[in-house]
Structure 1
Amino acid sequence: MFYSRYAPIGEQFAVPAKPNDFSNAKVILFNTELDTQLGLNWDLDTARSYLSGNRPLPGAQSVCLAYSGHQFGQFNPTLGDGRAHLIGSLITNGNEVFDIQLKGSGATVFSRGGDGLCALGPAIREFVMSKALSSLGVPSTQCLAVLSTGDSVYRQGELPGAVVARVAHSHIRVGSFQYLAMQQDSQAMLKLLELTMKDVGLQSNEITEEDIFSFFEFVCDAQCDLMLKWLQVGFIHGVMNTDNTLINGETIDYGPCAMIESFSFNRVFSSIDRQGRYAFGQQPNMASWNCGRLAESLLLLVEDEQVAIDRFSKILVGFSERFNQGYTQLWRNKLGILDEQPGDQELVTELLEIMTRNELDFTNTFASLTAIKINRQQAQYPAPHELDEWVKKWQLRIQDHESSEIAAVMQRHNPAIIPRNDLMEEVIRDFYQYGNSDVLDSWLAALSAPYNYDNYPEKWLLSQTNTKSYQTFCGT
């Protein structure tokens, strides 16, 4: 059932490594839906034994993966899994391939002096955020379980330790190709390309240069579409380094991430993003930049470098064109604009300027407009008075279409509920203080259907109280 997926690429890429054996570990969060989807059908004792490092998955060898990365624009040639172990891969009955990886499972050859451990708070954040984003329709890695280790880790003080069991369709990153390009290992890169192309449905019996360009275009399209999804729901990743950019377009590494609440394209929450490189509105530019670094790596496999540069450059121009078209459609969808007319861009720009100037809540503002059109829950999602005059213009713009059709489009694109930052911090504090959280089960159930305009506890919808001072951290 399980196997070592990346072994054919070589031990310089998939380095054999055993996770720590946390003998006192306990499963504190478990994703039963994901367990069923994977066909594991584990009880908690079985999950604990496999995910605590107590015993290996049958048929698989635990490894840590090598990769490079541009971290905030600076190239680091050797990063790799410094606190993670990929314990095995599996193929489901539906013929889907998944990796199971442990985070916080101990030091590896790539730890660079770090302890390889994870505190409980970041583990809770990853469980909630990955589940919430998936429900919002954002491609994402998944969290199968969070285990408390029974040990302490030391960050800004002593904290309880945890292990995150992460599930992904693939753990191949832009930095994976950068690493092999740096090694000038064309044979290993070709094997990696063959494996990755098969994963994304671009399988070819014998890789040609045309296949390489098709693969690059696929990656660019996947990254572009992911950025549009992030913008639609108001997600800020916080650390979009090339080592945190999955080739298949899934969101990975929920460290210094947060949801935008008080609206600004310049919003930054990550404690380490001091220049705003990965600010909310900068994310599409950074995704395109990361794709450019992938193109540089793929040059290793092409014969005529200049021809390849020209082809890659044209594909990157296509990224911009695809994004611009999607960006225009994004705001039409959120505002229920079903056709194109002169003045639409000005209407959107005016709205965003009002939201920025008055620091209006991103989710609640669009939820209030949606509530108007679906004609319910308007008391729970009141339209901000700052928008009174703008709403009149908007209503006039969409009056020629059926309200039911407009409402259906808006409700599909404007969530009523998101993983609010203040509530996320409250849940983390509860786990640190009590080892559990009374609010989490009911909150997760609501977050699993975020486009339902139901009655929710008021604090689940409240805008963040300290946006300007709020910071999130990597957890390493």
Structure 2
Amino acid sequence: MSPSSSTADRHTAHFRFENTYSRLPERFYARLNPTPVAVPRLVKLNTELARTLGIDPRELASDHGVEILAGNRVADGSEPLAQAYAGHQFGYFVPQLGDGRANLLGELVGRDGLGYDIQLKGSGRTPFSRGGDGRAALGPVLREYIVSEAMAALGVPTTRALAAVTTGERVQREIALPGAVLTRVARSHLRVGTFQYFAARRDTDGLRILADFAIARHYPDAAKAERPYRALLDGVIGRQAELVAQWMLLGFIHGVMNTDNTSISGETIDYGPCAFMEAYDPATVFSAIDQQGRYAYGNQPRVMLWNLTRLAEALLPLLEEEEGSEQAALRSANEALAAFAPKYEVARLDGFRHKLGLFTEREDDALMVERLLELMFANHTDLTLGFRRLCGAALGPEGDEEVRSLFADAGGFDSWLVDWRKRLKEEPHSPHERARSMRMANPAFIPRNHLVEAALKAASEHQDYQPFEELLDVISRPYEERPSLERYTMPARAEERVSQTFCGT
């Protein structure tokens, strides 16, 4: 809860904004301040992240700071704006989307020397709202807080949550819900859809300005390349190939992989109806709006390549300038896109080697991985729990039974286990070294959907934030052994299962 006014008198929040995006041409955004809310109250402040950004957490937690986080006050040096972008949504192109309920307060350089955007999400209507109310409900705000911080703790590139505040107002969805505002931190909010926005308008000058901005912000080495825009495309493709491989290794399902939700920086962005898969099944879908399963778990690599193809199309005018002809530009784009699949496969297989305790490479490693996944699919085995229990089996056969119990067809798993042990004998490391390494690749804790939903329900319906705080503490250290928290490692019981997740709008 926000502190007393006496605290506010002592602390004034300082952000040291730089605001390079606001210096771009006016057609890149709409300038406007956030819409004030009735009664802002601080729910959660990410003190560790605040310090990384060079912001005093006490200042942010003061009344003055909470007013900034809620959108009631514009911080010194802030130049608030809503960014313009387009995007393919479930395969259909929308030429103008933009920040319909978000406000970029500005950019700053953290103590790590990296640049960050500070954005309010749920901060009111903008020229891009398309009839929406511009607000966010408390549940989706807390979901993004939990899942984005879990992804950060798991080592996945992601936007972060700096703060969540309630507004003292209700937002109307299917029912009236408590309103909230999330303060989101990102390396930038540039998206594939941002490039599509200018390409759709045949605004080559705007496209070039945007590409140069992206290079300076995220891919400075590309500026030194013989073909900078091709190097930019190569860089985005490489980062996204590695990112989606990490999603697949953890069972993460984004849920809304539209091109406007595909970041140029290579971060996971826009946690709407996202979820972590429990029983392994490539066809798993949680998003209530994904009726056709376009963004199912197993489709994510293919969809990412599709999205990156849209980026390559948007960049064609700049590639043509570099290559000298339209045909040469097409060849260059296709050559860049052809690198996605091998990069993804290498990252995925390397990740699975780590999960299986393999330090060297063998030709049949991919077959061993696929056999295990097929067994998990056939036996409805929990992906996270299965790999975590393999860490114990890596110490010796005495750990086998805990894993075997997850497979109804124990005979099939036993056959795989024999081959895995033969493979481990080819490795130079001791069982304890292997198990220790595996525990750093196989989390004990993920934000399981039923636990997330329980935390959101308690907060939204009863103003009880204890389940939220407890879950946040658990997922902040996902690789640690914490025997007292066994219930957080277990999949949902039948009556607890969450089959659908919902977008905040």
TM-score category of the 2 structures, normalised to the smaller one: over 0.9
Q: Which moved more, 1:100-109 or 1:90-99?
A: 90-99
Query: Is 2:326 the counterpart of 1:298?
Result: no
CA drift at 1:81: 0.5
Change (3 A) 1:378 1:54: farther
Match 2:51 to one of 21, 32, 36: 36
SS in 1 for 2:394: helix
Which residue does the alignment assign to 1:313? 334
Judge conservation of contact 2:18–2:107 (CA < 8 Å) in 1.
yes
Deviations along 1:25-77, one digit per CA (max 9) or x if unpaired, are 10101101111111111241232111111211212211000000000111000
Letter in 1 for 2:73: R
Distance 1:306 1:14 in 2: 33
CA drift at 1:469: 6.1
Aligned residues: 475
Change (3 A) 1:208 1:367: closer
Query: Is 2:488 the counterpart of 1:473?
Result: no
Which residue does the alignment assign to 1:260? 277
Match 2:247 to one of 230, 237, 246: 230
CA drift at 1:443: 2.9
Distance 1:440 1:111 in 2: 30
Which residue does the alignment assign to 2:35? 20
Residue correspondence of structure 1 range 246-395 to structure 2 within 5 A? 246-301=263-318, 302-303=320-321, 304-341=325-362, 343-374=364-395, 382-383=403-404, 384-385=406-407, 386=410, 387-395=413-421
Change (3 A) 1:456 1:203: same
Which residue does the alignment assign to 2:4? none
CA drift at 1:5: 2.4
Distance 2:374 2:202 in 1: 49
Q: Which moved more, 1:332-341 or 1:291-300?
A: 332-341
SS in 1 for 2:168: strand
SS in 2 for 1:355: helix
What is the TM-score normalised by the length of structure 1?
0.95
Distance 2:263 2:432 in 1: 38
Judge conservation of contact 2:219–2:232 (CA < 8 Å) in 1.
no
Distance 2:462 2:398 in 1: 35
Change (3 A) 1:199 1:377: farther
Q: Which moved more, 1:37-46 or 1:72-81?
A: 37-46
Distance 2:370 2:109 in 1: 47
Q: Which moved more, 1:168-177 or 1:379-388?
A: 379-388
Distance 2:424 2:458 in 1: 45
CA drift at 1:116: 0.8
Which residue does the alignment assign to 1:115? 133
CA drift at 1:23: 3.5
Judge conservation of contact 2:45–2:164 (CA < 8 Å) in 1.
yes
Which residue does the alignment assign to 2:486? 458
Q: Which moved more, 1:141-150 or 1:320-329?
A: 320-329
> What fraction of aligned residue pairs are identical, expressed as a percent?
40
Judge conservation of contact 2:249–2:348 (CA < 8 Å) in 1.
no
Judge conservation of contact 1:367–1:381 (CA < 8 Å) in 2.
no
Distance 1:433 1:166 in 2: 24
Query: Is 2:14 the counterpart of 1:5?
Result: no
CA drift at 1:315: 1.1
Which residue does the alignment assign to 2:157? 139
Distance 1:78 1:148 in 2: 29
SS in 2 for 1:40: coil
Deviations along 1:319-342, one digit per CA (max 9) or x if unpaired, are 111112222222222111233345
Q: Which moved more, 1:453-462 or 1:123-132?
A: 453-462
CA drift at 1:374: 5.0
Distance 1:296 1:208 in 2: 20
Aligned-residue RMSD, C-alpha = 2.2
Residue correspondence of structure 1 range 181-200 to structure 2 within 5 A? 181-200=199-218
Match 1:72 to one of 81, 90, 111: 90
Deviations along 1:380-407, one digit per CA (max 9) or x if unpaired, are 9654243334323322321233313322
What is the TM-score normalised by the length of structure 2?
0.89
Change (3 A) 1:128 1:377: farther
Deviations along 1:65-95, one digit per CA (max 9) or x if unpaired, are 0000000111000000111111111122432
Change (3 A) 1:192 1:120: same
Query: Is 2:190 the counterpart of 1:164?
Result: no
CA drift at 1:21: 0.5
Deviations along 1:167-226, one digit per CA (max 9) or x if unpaired, are 111000000000011122222222211211111142677x88700000100000010010
Distance 2:381 2:17 in 1: 49
Distance 1:177 1:345 in 2: 36
Which residue does the alignment assign to 1:409? 437
Change (3 A) 1:436 1:374: farther
Distance 1:428 1:344 in 2: 41
SS in 2 for 1:87: strand
Which protein is richer in helix relative to its size?
A: 2
